[in-house]
């Protein structure tokens, strides 16, 4: 099963990051010096994806601008001897074949994926949520893709979360498979109360989906807030297709909230050679007051 395309939905309102998201797309907020969106595009490229479709909305034009070449900036940096920076600017615009589709209204994640139907066509594809940042190589997308290819069907990334916060997550009901960390999905439940949660495996933003998901999403009724949920669409898909859940290896950071992004920035800062020492000194001095 060859998977060539990735859909990255980036058309949400980012309300948990207001007021900054009044004018700056959440997906361009940085971990250190790189936007979250760049980390997930790099993860897609590492997984062998050739074609990246980003779903954006009106008012988020700076997302497309980020991937455009900036020859005048590159020349200026080269003239002043900032060669590494010039290379970095060029690297971003050469990173992948990126195209854009517009979601006219933020009607939910499922609706955002549906917006990419024509761009994806009749082939399996991956979905990567840019505010779920995962720091591992091979990347979570590669890991889930391997499971999907092994079984020849859909797959989603999951992680165990403490039971007392399970009501904040999409959760899977599963049965064990013959492989480690891997389960066959029986059902998906959005934000269940602890007593009703079928497991503590929460859905993380990496999916491999067959093109049949589009018909399922077209038949998915909007939920309470008028949004079409991807989990409901996958629930319909389960009636005719197998989907596996894989407990990926790596740490997930919740880049959808200010505190999650701060934590990611600190941990990535500690892991990077050029910043580790300075970040450690900063943390020590904050801790000792
Ligand atoms: P989130 O629910 O985390 O993002 O959706 P949000 O809606 O922008 O943020 P809050 O909840 O208001 O703070 C996960 C991903 O799906 C995209 C978002 O841009 C984000 O990358 N999304 C969500 C869409 O593209 N369209 C939508 O209608 C909803």
Rounded CA gap, 274 and 25, in Å? 27
Q: At which residue do the structure tokens 């300075």 appear?
A: 278
On whether the CB atoms of residues 233 and 216 are closer than 8 A, the answer is: yes
- pLDDT at position 40 is 98
Residue minimizing CA distance to atom 23 of ligand 1? 12
Q: What is the DSSP string of 77-140?
A: HHHTT-HHHHHHHHHHHHS-EEEEEE-SS---HHHHHHHTHHHH-SS-EEEE-TTEEE--SS-H
Query: Does residue 60 have its Cβ closer than 6 Å to ligand 1?
Result: no
Q: In terms of Cα–Cα distance, which of 163, 167, 165, 151 is closest to 246? A: 151
- pLDDT at position 223 is 85
Mean pLDDT by 10 residues, the chain (289 residues): 96 97 97 97 97 97 97 97 97 96 97 98 98 95 98 97 96 96 96 96 98 98 91 97 98 97 97 97 92
Query: Which of 6, 9, 11, 12 to probe ligand 1 with, by most ligand atoms within 8 A of CB?
Result: 12
Query: Does residue 134 have its Cβ closer than 6 Å to ligand 1?
Result: no
On whether the CB atoms of residues 196 and 189 are closer than 8 A, the answer is: yes
With the CA atoms of 47, 136, 138 and 97 taken in that order, what torsion angle do they form, in degrees rounded to the nearest 10? 20
Residue 83 CA to ligand 1 centre (angstroms): 36
Rounded CA gap, 270 and 272, in Å? 6
Rounded CA gap, 185 and 244, in Å? 5
Residue 230 phi, psi dihedral angles, 5° rounding:
-65, -35
Q: In terms of Cα–Cα distance, which of 188, 281, 191 is closest to 230? A: 188
- pLDDT for 9-44, tens place per residue? 999 999 999 999 999 999 999 999 999 999 999 999
Q: Are strands 201-209 and 125-128 parallel, antiparallel or unpaired?
A: antiparallel
Q: In terms of Cα–Cα distance, which of 119, 106, 145 is closest to 53? A: 119
Q: What is the pTM of this model?
A: 0.97
- pLDDT at position 289 is 78
- pLDDT for 49-87, tens place per residue? 999 999 999 999 999 999 999 999 999 999 999 999 999
Query: Does residue 234 have its Cβ closer than 6 Å to ligand 1?
Result: no
- pLDDT at position 225 is 85
Query: Does residue 13 have its Cβ closer than 6 Å to ligand 1?
Result: yes
């Amino acid at each position: 099963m060859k998977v060539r395309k990735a859909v990255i939905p980036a058309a949400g309102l980012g309300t948990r990051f207001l007021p900054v998201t009044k004018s700056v797309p959440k997906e361009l907020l940085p971990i250190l010096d790189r936007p979250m969106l760049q980390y997930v595009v790099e993860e897609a490229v590492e997984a062998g994806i050739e074609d990246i479709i980003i779903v954006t909305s009106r008012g988020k034009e700076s997302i497309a601008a980020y991937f455009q070449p900036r020859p005048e900036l590159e020349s200026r940096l080269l003239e002043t001897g900032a060669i590494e920076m010039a290379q970095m600017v060029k690297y971003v615009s050469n990173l992948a074949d990126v195209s854009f589709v517009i979601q006219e209204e933020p009607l939910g994640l499922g609706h955002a994926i549906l917006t990419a139907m024509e761009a994806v066509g009749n082939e399996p594809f991956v979905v990567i949520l840019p505010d779920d940042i995962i720091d591992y190589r091979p990347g979570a997308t590669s890991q889930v893709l391997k499971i999907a290819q092994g079984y020849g069907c859909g797959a989603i990334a999951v992680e165990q979360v403490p039971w007392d916060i399970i009501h904040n997550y999409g959760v899977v009901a599963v049965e064990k498979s013959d492989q480690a960390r891997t389960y066959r999905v029986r059902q998906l439940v959005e934000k269940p109360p602890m007593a009703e949660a079928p497991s503590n495996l929460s859905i993380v933003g990496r999916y491999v989906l067959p093109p049949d998901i589009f018909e399922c999403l077209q038949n998915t009724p909007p939920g309470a807030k008028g949004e079409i949920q991807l989990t409901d669409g996958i629930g319909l898909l389960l009636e005719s297709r197998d989907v596996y859940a894989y407990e990926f290896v790596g740490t997930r950071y919740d880049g959808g909230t200010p505190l999650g992004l701060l934590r990611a920035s600190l941990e990535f800062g500690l892991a990077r050679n050029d910043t580790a020492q300075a970040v450690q000194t900063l943390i020590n001095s904050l801790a000792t007051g």
